[in-house]
């Protein structure tokens, strides 16, 4: 059975791909306190945020002087997981280090 001209034309049409929005990004924030050691913060940044030593020390000093700093920017699920891992690891080592997340460019999430 031969395809009609109209049927052939329909088969050859280009399908439009739907536009997929990029996921919203969230910042993982580490908060300064008077007890958590600077070395511990550097270690956490290297272990959970995969930063090199120099970048981890730079972020740690920012947290120390400003009171809070961005450890990394991720999708919501990844940011939430990294914040929870950081807090759990800190508690296991009896450190009061706090981590939170906020929408990038916005308020607390």
Estimate to the nearest angstrom the gap between the alpha carbon of 59 and the chain centroid. 15
Does residue 68 fall inside a structural domain?
yes
pTM of the model: 0.79
Does residue 108 fall inside a structural domain?
no
Residue 93: how many CB atoms within 10 A of its CB?
13
What residue numbers bound the domain in which 57 lies? 22-103
Express each pLDDT in 58-108 by its tens digit.
999 999 999 999 999 999 999 999 999 999 999 999 999 999 999 997 555
| Sheet (strand 98-103) strand order | 68-75, 25-31, 98-103
Q: Which of 77, 79, 98, 67 is nearest to 28 (CA)?
A: 79
Does residue 9 fall inside a structural domain?
no
Amino acid 80: pLDDT: 98
With contact defined as beta carbons under 8 Å apart, do 100 and 50 qualify? no
Does residue 49 fall inside a structural domain?
yes
Does residue 3 fall inside a structural domain?
no
Amino acid 11: pLDDT: 62
Does residue 46 fall inside a structural domain?
yes
Does residue 59 fall inside a structural domain?
yes
CATH at residue 66: 3.30.1390.10
Could you give the number of structural domains in the chain?
1
Express each pLDDT in 31-48 by its tens digit.
999 999 999 999 999 999
Residue 3 has pLDDT above 60, yes or no: no
Express each pLDDT in 7-27 by its tens digit.
555 666 777 888 888 899 999
Q: What angle separates helix 53-66 from helix 38-49, to the nearest 10 degrees?
A: 130
Does residue 70 fall inside a structural domain?
yes
């Amino acid at each position: 059975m031969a395809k009609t001209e109209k049927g052939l034309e329909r088969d050859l049409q280009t399908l439009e791909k739907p536009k997929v929005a990029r996921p919203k990004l969230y910042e993982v924030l580490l908060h300064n306190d008077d007890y958590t050691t600077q070395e511990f913060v550097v270690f956490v940044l290297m272990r959970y945020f995969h930063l090199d030593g120099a970048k981890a020390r730079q972020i740690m000093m920012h947290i120390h002087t400003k009171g809070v700093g961005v450890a990394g920017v991720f999708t919501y699920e990844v940011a939430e997981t990294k914040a929870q891992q950081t807090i759990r690891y800190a508690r296991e080592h009896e450190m009061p280090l706090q981590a939170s997340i906020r929408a990038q460019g916005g308020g607390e999430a």
